[in-house]
Structure 1
């Protein structure tokens, strides 16, 4: 049975996300992804060009920030941490990107682009004291937490409930929003 172009791309992307998540960028191969998708490797190249472009497409995601402008100013930090926790756990794309960005320049650039394009505008809406600095510091907290919880799987962090993480990190993120020094 023949698939449409859109269906073929979707199957390739699903296989790529799974393979990148399991193997990381360096060890994942076009051949392995094609085998997982049950297609010829030339089809992967046809739709995505090369492994870097496939990875960029597979790791393309929306942080899906809600409009936090109606949240009480003192609760925005906790709301952001809760949102990030929900986002990390919703699908593997962010974890794939995080894992790969530690060793791959393309992945690291993609992570920077996503955070710059999506976190900074969200902070501008909540009147962060210094949006660019706040974005960098918030990213350091959220990426560090995700690395420890979802990639390194450090027991104390994995054992914490989402509510505990929000209560620990929320005030720190709030300080980043409120402080200009």
Structure 2
């Protein structure tokens, strides 16, 4: 096996262990030693590959939401957005998102990353779908708040009955709320 292949595997193992550990313990309680133990390596290797706990956290929580292009019709836009968001979480491929969202309430850098994602992905999607709406940014914030509420309650906290709600029912109800956020009157 080539050195670069081994390095890539080691780096991937560290990232996977860090995502699990940050998601389970949060940023402050997760330690380099615990992450290294989970990855089956010496703690010095974590520092060698990532430089610091903060840099490792940044790498472990890097995400691209891949927000779908939103249809100009608010009902269709809401349904497509909500279904994509739920599918992402139902599919289980959300370790980086879980890391970021668990840390955001107590870690300013994580909260700033959520803001960056909002500005880079959510706002442009809403502005494209509603180009003449002077409240597109506010509508995007409401859309995000609805999304985060579902994610925290269903996927991160397991709040019942939301955690066990039928996916189709969840998607229909949340899409209705999101459509309201996209079209409801906002003060001037």
With normalisation by structure 1, the TM-score equals: 0.90
Q: Distance in 1 between matches of 2:107 and 2:176?
A: 32
Pick from 52, 55, 58 the counterpart of residue 53 of structure 1: 55
Q: Does 1:135 align with 2:140?
A: yes
Q: CA RMSD in A?
A: 1.9
After the TM superposition, which residues 2-151 of structure 1 pair with which residues of structure 2 at under 5 Å, given as runs? Answer: 3-69=5-71, 72-90=73-91, 91=93, 92-127=95-130, 129=133, 130-151=135-156
Is residue 18–residue 60 contact of structure 2 (8 Å, CA) maintained in 1? yes
Q: May I ask how many residue pairs the two structures share in their alignment?
A: 180
**Structure-1 separation of matches of 2:35 and 2:79:** 38
Q: Show CA shifts across 1:20-69 (max 9, x none).
A: 12222121101111111112212211222211111111011110122234
| 5+ residue gaps, structure 2 | none
**TM-score with structure 2 setting the length:** 0.87
Conserved? CA contact 2:74–2:182, under 8 Å:
no
In structure 1, what is the equivalent of residue 172 of structure 2?
A: 167
